[in-house]
Structure 1
């Protein structure tokens, strides 16, 4: 590691994530041993799969539900993310409205807001302790160009019918003080969560409801009514794919969703004097308006967990499942953290890790179920999966049970998105996009408007 990054004596790189440090990485449960039948088979033991299993069993306790997971429940993005239980839409209002109308797009956004509270409700009802605190989210603008984009975003929210109670401009130091902040917004629709505790608690809950969870059971292919593994075939009327960033590993789905990497570091616990100095007295989440954006939370034990993009994409849609983070990425995240909070320079980095999220070609999430084949899926959350997975689970419940509802009428249901380009085009496109974003952020330090390079990057990948 570069000597410019101060590391804790117990520094770890990878090993899933810091979120598992306190309780340890769980020992995987039993794997599938031979062929089996069920009413519903779910492939993937993360938030989407577990929420779907939960709501199905709560609605129909007699249903036989099976979850198949390659490693252990919560191994993927569900145990590695930044802990943002956010109401931000996983997609574009305009794109959803283009096919289903503005009212449908607004309905989807309102359901996202409500899903934050639904997760909190279930955790309270089921006794899942996940350090959840709903203090909202603060976004800061640190350049004039970012401030212009921020004001435009608030105006756009008003045009979509979302008022001051959903998103409002605030003075930069109202909730916390970020060095160089020129403007800020605050929204109540966000809560801090300890991601690993949430997914592990959810896994225990669904097991208690009678869901059969098979770990150490990789699924190699999904076909109508069947999920194929090296140890046996799971058959069911419905087979749900809930593999998010790992979808490209399945046969025939390499170009379905792009597996995008995101990386994080976490500091050692910071003293009370630090939090007083920066004014971060609550559990607000923190983001910014840069193109190469960051995200952060104050953890329950007074650390800063700070994330952003590292090496965004590996050639051929490969995935580094072990979460090792490159030295240059750790250094870049540390420099940015200290740039935001100079007083944090007295701390050290305790852990670095990476995870993978799924990005559809149009950057809009989807939920789907084909009654003819029994095949369904949800995902492509573009980094907003902690909350969106809950909404997906409830929607898949209604689709599987054949119940028409307000959820099944939402515009992301049945949405068809074309595949990503073959290599080397998608590798070149993604890396060009992020190179342009980095340069655009640098240029905007002395600009009063959004750099044209950022607009070119958006055009390249359809962001």
Structure 2
């Protein structure tokens, strides 16, 4: 591996933007807000993946349904459009926790459903001409030391219990570096999955559902919800929607509704993106298939190349803000998180350590007390889904099918998945939630630093 100096261009020397990089890849002009009164069969609050996939599958099942989606900004403006673009089979935080809580058989069924969604995502993009920059090479779970190698070995054992393909193999340092030539990688396991541009997927999905006749009202915030004799009434700044069925699909914003105040919390996660690598720089590191990688641990770090040959790094320690603070102008920039990600870049790819970041930013991940997603019904024609724990691209596709079957009162394999209609433990009220989050975060970080001292899986 050869160190090379970064190209000194105007773009390289430009000020760092504290903005979501993906949004530059496809400009968006939000549609007009809802004005007036609407009556429909299904009203969905939130305009991200969960909302649009559910609407898509409901329309396929019954084209007669009148479906209206309400989105405060533009469709896909939240985590759906600014996540890091890893299409993974992961449910919740870890495979080990899932097997421990639900058993191997139920975990196997859930992973099979999400695996099917990963395949169908690509087919959806091809069929509907959605250019989501889909790269199906998958990604690697990697270990940077002996303790992380043991974590990979544990997950391989669990995967074998779930009937994973025999080709799942732990690559030693030499074989791993044939795939991604990084001095930090000591071992790796190839995982099925893909890399995408999440913003372009969200906008392509938006175009698909609106072309099917589903109404998506952008710039339309839900101000209040009232259940009446004629249906559930959602009031917005300039209008009102009355619907027989109501779906809450706001994920990290779900806590803003009283029913979910203590069921889900937003946790800040950060990412950094470099300027495009030059051909000379790309040639300095052997990375032939361009797979992403995720480092094993409680607080993961990860890296990938974008379609435009930028490096994207993300992860590190998660941050819960007091009283579920989601103030973007205050928290989108986190210099400490950026410093951590700069160190990750230098550790994994010394040849690129001087390549400048052009974008650094944060966004919120929705976390539940059990660190698994929850999909369910409130029992009066209201449904919900939240808590994808940062792994929602494929999982929201599966969730859309589960919500379709719940709403249509179908007893299917999707309506009986382990994350559907399960018991939910509430978070404690403030300030206990804030203090507890800090304590758990410190404990998880300590386990990452000294795994030999705390061997039990915590989450």
TM-score, normalized by the shorter chain, greater than 0.5? yes
The one of 373, 382, 388 equivalent to 1:375 is: 382
TM-score under structure 1 length normalisation: 0.90
Number of aligned residues: 442
Among 409, 412, 425, the alignment partner of 2:432 is 425
Q: 1:378-404 CA distances to partner (integer Å, 9 max, x unpaired)? A: 121011011111101111112222222
* SS of structure 2 residue aligned to 1:390: helix
Choose which of 257, 261, 274 in structure 2 pairs with 1:250: 257
Q: Establish whether residue 332 from structure 1 lines up as the match of residue 345 from structure 2.
A: no
How does 1:149-188 map onto structure 2 within 5 Å? Answer: 149-165=151-167, 167-170=168-171, 171-187=175-191
Q: Relative to structure 2, which stretch is displaced further, 62-71 or 305-314?
A: 305-314
The whole-number CA distance in structure 2 between the counterparts of 1:251 and 1:441 is 35
Counting only pairs closer than 5 Å after superposition, residues 49-128 of structure 1 correspond to structure 2 as 49-90=51-92, 101-128=103-130
Aligned to 2:202: 199
Cα deviation for residue 43 of structure 1 reads 0.7
Which of 391, 394, 410 is 1:387 aligned to? Answer: 394
Inter-partner Cα distance in structure 2 for 1:399 and 1:351: 40
Deviation at 1:250, TM superposition (A): 2.3
- Post-superposition offset of 1:197: 0.3
Task: Quote the residue 2:453 is aligned against.
Answer: 452
Over 3 Å counting, the alpha-carbon distance change for 1:426 and 1:36 in structure 2 is same
Q: SS of the residue aligned with 1:21? A: helix
Give, in angstroms, the shift of residue 82 of structure 1. 0.6
Q: How much has 1:230 moved relative to structure 2?
A: 3.1
Give ranges in structure 1 of 5+ residues lacking alignment.
Answer: 1-5, 444-449
Q: Which residue of 2 aligns with 1:213?
A: 216
Unaligned runs of 5+ in 2: 1-7
Q: Please state if 1:360 is matched with 2:368.
A: yes
- Mapped to 2, the partners of 1:277 and 1:156 lie a distance apart of 36
Match of residue 139 from structure 2? 137
- Partner SS for 1:278: coil
DSSP-derived class of the 2:375 partner: strand
Q: Distance in 2 between matches of 1:84 and 1:329?
A: 20
Residue 37 (structure 1) aligned with residue 44 (structure 2)? no
Instruction: Indicate the SS of the match to 1:157.
Output: helix
What SS does the corresponding residue of 1:300 show, helix, strand or coil? Answer: coil
Equivalent in the alignment of 1:346:
354
- In 2, the alpha carbon distance for the partners of 1:148 and 1:99 equals 21
Deviation at 1:32, TM superposition (A): 1.6
How far does residue 101 in structure 1 lie from its aligned partner after superposition? 4.9
Task: Please name the residue that 2:4 is paired with.
Answer: none
TM-score normalised over the length of structure 2:
0.90
226, 236, 239: which is aligned to 1:232? 239
Cα distance in 1 for residues equivalent to 2:135 and 2:63:
31
* C-alpha displacement of 1:276: 3.5
Query: What is the rounded CA distance, in whole Å, between the counterparts of 1:333 and 1:427 in structure 2?
Result: 25
Q: CA deviation at 1:441?
A: 3.4
Q: Kindly report the root-mean-square deviation, in angstroms, between the aligned alpha carbons of the 2 structures.
A: 2.2
Deviations along 1:227-261, one digit per CA (max 9) or x if unpaired, are 33333332211111110111122234321101111
